[in-house]
Amino acid sequence: MTSTDLSYLTCIQQAHLIKTREISPVELVSASLARIERYEPILKAWITVEGERALEKAREAEAEIMAGRYRGPLHGLPYGVKDQMHALGFPTTLGTRVLDAHEMVAPHDATIISRLTQAGAILLGKQNQHEWGKGGTIDFPYGQPRNPWNPAYDASSSSTGSGIAAAAGQCSFSIGEDTGGSVRGPASCNGVVGLRPTFGRISRHGGVMAGYSSDTFGPLARSVEDIAAIMEAVSGHDPRDVLSSPRPVPRFTEALHGDLRGMKLAVVREIAYGDGVDPEVQAAFEASVAVLKDQGATIEEISLPLAKWAVPLQMLTTDADVASWFLANYLRDRYDRFDVGTRTRLAASALIPASVYHRAMRARTVVRGQVLDALRRYDALLTPTNVTPPRLIEAARENLTDSGDVIPKLIRRRIAHYPFSLSNVPAMSVPNGFSSDGLPLALQIAGRPFGESTVFQVGHAYQQATGWHQSHPDLQKTLATGQ
């Protein structure tokens, strides 16, 4: 097996080889570090990497496994996190020029990192992101992130490095953060699986979470089975996060099988067939629906007429939440150090009147009610993850010049993400094909609150019947194109 073959295996496949001692964690971590060194000059997926530290942890994991102390399927697997999470020994840059060096010092490990450490996973480093975890960055302080399938193309929104790194085989999995699609968007554009879990399923302690009512961490990996295994390790109540749920954590991996008989799913008409849906996206989506029907699911079409309003409502309220935090801390006296895309968005949000904010928060509950009502009638909802294929980097930048830009540049990019973010329900992106330009497309599966097991069941059944998740970018070609 070549190092490339090893790096592109799923977490579960890598874990089997480690458990049976056919490979060592040192070998796997070394392969990841070599791919980071080789392709990072083009991809810009990482901000900080501590290779020697990771190799030391890999040697410790190897010794534990050889001594018969195997911790489970994440033991010895290398991973990275969006640079929005504190990790001792790593700066927390938040992808910004605003912070001074002493302000980047991590005070402790985030709970999600502590839990992954307990599971035996090995942190390689911190991954590139849009500034402060907000979308719309124009000038990236740590380099322009690039799509591993074609570096001229966008790698999507905020958790961009997390999607790139998992797709490029630079780590076994990543942890991103999703406010309004920042896990699902990068998963879709880069051709991996990404989950926004139910709000409260994962502790947010140790993360810089300015969007207090919406932000949640989420994993990105190369298969649904991988995501289920990661979720078993990181989910559960944490007294340091008062909004984390006390619900027991299911054995997510036990819900995975290819039979969907008796399951009732719904296609959301306004997202799957609305204005602006690219024909290639629609064709891939319809093919995915046909596969799920073949697996035994009953599928109907439904209307969520309020879905489009999730975008302005969540942008208005969440951006106001974020702006209030930044106004008190940095926006007034460090305005010029923000990226122009970020500061423009935050400055506008800081001017939202309290009366408008509260009306929008009440309106959010109406939209959420429509989504939850549909989920009472169906086991899961189906949409494309993005309604267009990945775009050229220049075309993806949100430079609004007049009101005519709002729908194509703001709403269309978010229309599939925000209804489920606003509703705080689990939603997962699964690869489902490629555009004519060879760029990834994806299916989105949204479930009931704390219904991750059902979402995993549907996604795993789809992957058992298709092979899209087994396709990987040719990074030799990417390297040549980027140069």
Would you say how long the chain is, in residues?
483
Annotated active-site residue 182? The verdict is: yes
Q: What type of residue is 153?
A: Y
Residues 6+ apart with CB under 8 A from 284: 384, 432, 433, 441, 443
d(CA 349, CA 164): 30
**Beta-carbon count within 10 A of 20 CB:** 8
Annotated active-site residue 355? The verdict is: no
d(CA 196, CA 179): 9
Residues linked to residue 78 through DSSP beta bridges, in sequence order: 122
Helical H segments across 44-130, by residue range: 51-66, 111-118
Q: What is the DSSP letter of 45?
A: -
Helices (runs of H) and strands (runs of E) counted in the chain: 18, 11
Residues 6+ apart with CB under 8 A from 394: none
**Beta-carbon count within 10 A of 55 CB:** 18
Q: Which member of 57, 82, 134, 308 is catalytic? A: 82
Residue 237 is encoded by which pair of tokens? 């109540």
8 Å CB contact between 42 and 90: no
Residue 178 burial by CB count (10 A; 0-12/13-18/19+): exposed, middle or buried?
A: buried
Range list of β-strands (E), 28-169:
46-49, 78-82, 122-127
Residues 6+ apart with CB under 8 A from 97: 141, 337, 338, 339
CA 336 and chain centroid, separation: 29
Can you say whether the dihedral through the CA atoms of 308, 207, 123, 458 is positive or negative?
negative
Residue 410 is encoded by which pair of tokens? 């703001």
Residue 284 burial by CB count (10 A; 0-12/13-18/19+): exposed, middle or buried?
A: buried
Question: Which residue, among 421, 417, 416, 410, has the nearest Cα to 344 in the 3D structure?
Answer: 410
Phi and psi of 206, rounded to 5°?
90, 5
Angle between helices 160-167 and 25-43 (to 10 degrees): 120
Q: Which member of 162, 182, 349, 421 is catalytic? A: 182
d(CA 416, CA 411): 9
Residues that are catalytic: 82, 158, 182
